[in-house]
A = this chain, B = another copy of it.
Amino acid sequence: MKLSEKVLAMQFSPIRKFNPIAQKAKDAGKKVYHLNIGQPDVPTPEVFMDAIRAYDKKVIAYAESGGNTELQDAVIDYFKGYGVDFERKNIIVTTGGSEALTMTFIALLNPGDEVIIAEPFYTNYHTFATAAGGKVVPITTKAEDGYHYAKREQIEACITDKTKAIVCISPGNPTGTVLTLDEMKLIGEIAKEHDLWIIADEVYREFAYDDREVTSFSMLPEYADRVIIVDSVSKRHSACGARIGLLISKNEEFMTNTMKIAQGRLCSSTVDQVGAAALFRLPKSYYDEVKAEYCARRDVVYEELMKIPGVVCQKPGGAFYMTAKLPVDSVEDFLMFLLTEFDDNGETVMFAPAEGFYATPGLGKDEMRIAYVLNKEDMRRGVELIRLGLEAYNKKNNK
């Protein structure tokens, strides 16, 4: 009665593993600023629950396996706003971006096949690829370079005869790095030369700050047959609990075969799809407002971080994460200190140690990821607590 090697090889979420310790701190009366999870505090647009409350079918029936046409059409119109044409057959509605990635890996990977992806990366890529029998090969990036990886030599060095796909998350989690359209073209070229798929996780698409344009691999028609787009309402629409994602591709063979997996699990939530269709019909001004809010938070976080001597970090261009190197040997040890020994006026802070975001053993021990999902004041206080905590930590260690 053994379990599978796959499941034993999977990791527990490194983001969640400090939760019980944080809970203890809270039980002891401390206030903990949670900069560790990608759960925004931005209210879900009311159109979501309004549409659901108005849903009056007597039977909550299965949706189509590929998704409700109302939602598909809303997505088609959304992409039209960026000059990109999709048809219903290019779109499978999934249960979150997570399921879109899971389906993609099942459809592409034979045992031992590899996908390359810039590290640090969202840890669940490892879980999804492992579950499909594949392997993640990291393109190592550095805090000093702002975690950029769109360089030919760097990418090609990771390609083997087992490589099936390049995974690009832009704007990125956990680094906030954004690909330009020219960088996307370079990746498209490399993928074409090496006959690879491009898996483009674009769940933070509009969250590109300063003078950056919204970019998408869907804007490159010359590579459309090898591009698989993953999308979701979780982040941009602040609807993490809605579990509605999208798998979008113009490659017919991929879509036809992936539909077998989609049919197998029957459909995504009927009620959530009703709400999600309303979200994709939001005007562009909605994205502008939310983007402005996150951009302002990023500025606050960056400003406060720069007050900490020895921090290494470039100002990230998008998403709502920032990864930075701290002047400590072990960020995990420092986080443990923050949660168990430190407080400032009864308050402390929690972030995600970045080690779990690296596939290469030993990397990331001195890095942390901050998610700027709280309001500006809380973010400012949270990063201040990191600074104060670091002073206390160094004092304790006689540095």
Query: Which positions in A face B, CB cutoff 8 Å?
Result: 1, 3-8, 10-13, 16, 39-44, 48-49, 52-53, 55, 58-63, 65, 95-96, 98-99, 102, 106-111, 113, 124, 127-128, 131-133, 195-197, 226, 238-243, 253-254, 257-261, 263-272, 275
- Bound complex: CA A387 to CA B104 (Å): 45
Chain B residues whose CB sits within 8 angstroms of the CB of A132 once the complex forms = 4, 6, 131
Q: Which of B241, B258, B265 contacts A62 (CB 8 A)?
A: B241
Chain B residues whose CB sits within 8 angstroms of the CB of A242 once the complex forms = 60, 269-271
- Bound complex: CA A272 to CA B269 (Å): 8
Question: Which residue of chain B has its CB nearest to the CB of A131?
Answer: B106
Asked if A44 meets B59 with Cβ closer than 8 Å, knowing A133-B133, A264-B124, A270-B241, the reply is yes
**Among A3, A113, A253, A259: residue with most chain B CB under 10 A:** A3
Q: Which of B60, B99, B257, B260 contacts A240 (CB 8 A)?
A: B60
- Bound complex: CA A203 to CA B128 (Å): 27
Question: Which residue of chain B has its CB nearest to the CB of A37?
Answer: B62
Question: Which residue of chain B has its CB nearest to the CB of A233?
Answer: B60
**Among A40, A58, A266: residue with most chain B CB under 10 A:** A266
- Bound complex: CA A74 to CA B353 (Å): 36
Asked if A195 meets B1 with Cβ closer than 8 Å, knowing A240-B62, A263-B13, A263-B16, the reply is yes
B238-A1 in contact (CB<8A): no
Asked if A261 meets B7 with Cβ closer than 8 Å, knowing A266-B98, A269-B272, the reply is yes
Question: Which residue of chain B has its CB nearest to the CB of A256?
Answer: B12
Chain B residues whose CB sits within 8 angstroms of the CB of A275 once the complex forms = 60, 271
Chain B residues whose CB sits within 8 angstroms of the CB of A254 once the complex forms = 3
Asked if A265 meets B1 with Cβ closer than 8 Å, knowing A241-B62, A272-B272, the reply is no
